[in-house]
Amino acid sequence: MSMKAILVSLLLLGAAPDGSTPALSPDSLAAPPLADESPTAWACTIDTLREGKECVFESDAAPSTTPSPDQDSANRKLLKDISNILCSEAVSNAREGRADAALTSLCERRYVAAVEQCGLRGAAPVVDAKGRFVAQARTCYRALSTVLQEVQLMASVAAPCCECAARNGCPGTGDRCFADLSRQSAAPATLACLNERCESACSMVLPSTETSGARTSSSSPPRERASRAGSASL
């Protein structure tokens, strides 16, 4: 056999698959890439909802071709069952660990109302098998997130003032107080009572009296001068 034939034979033998060759380790550089299908840190989950984080609807769960009323009910029940936990945490975190039964109750009522749009008409589970909100649940997720964020604002800004208002018999207390003060739309009678009886507790939500007083004093001299000028002309 010529040298050329021997070299060709050796090359063919080296290229032929060997059934006894051990499989490559997944950590080997030569191993084929493996897809990591676990949720990323950006996936929209219950955790991102409770923490108020930005997220991405990365679940690719396909909607069912046969919507189910049972699935619709299951979706809403899943989210309703955690309403107390999410609302209690939202209030407690905003108030540095202090609980507020009235505000938590208000949060739960608003949260449960928002959950009504989370059934997805039974076309898909609202959360996939990996704990991610599905793409069809965008509106649901945003509605729930809005409730929790608004309640946190109420807890951090309005709650101390509303507690004082209730103790001192000011008008517009309870749920209305939280909503009005967080929107800065309290009635004049309520503001007057808060200024008189709860000035310290309500300092963050009350209009500045110095500013309004300065405007009043700065506008008085022209009226006085006009009055004097009118008297002189007579």
* Per-residue model confidence as pLDDT tens digits over 152-190: 988 888 888 998 999 999 998 888 898 888 888 889 999
Q: What angle do CA 96, 102, 103 make, to 5 degrees?
A: 50
pLDDT at 58 over 80: yes
- The CA–CA distances, whole Å, from 230 to 119, 163, 216, 217, 226 equal 72, 51, 21, 21, 6
- The CA–CA distances, whole Å, from 153 to 45, 65, 183 equal 22, 41, 10
220 versus 92: which is more confidently predicted?
A: 92
pLDDT at 219 over 60: no
Instruction: Say which residues have a Cβ less than 8 Å from residue 130's Cβ, sequence separation at least 6.
Output: 37, 38, 39, 43, 59
Query: What's the predicted TM-score (pTM) here?
Result: 0.69
157 versus 48: which is more confidently predicted?
A: 48
In the chain, where the domains are located: 40-204
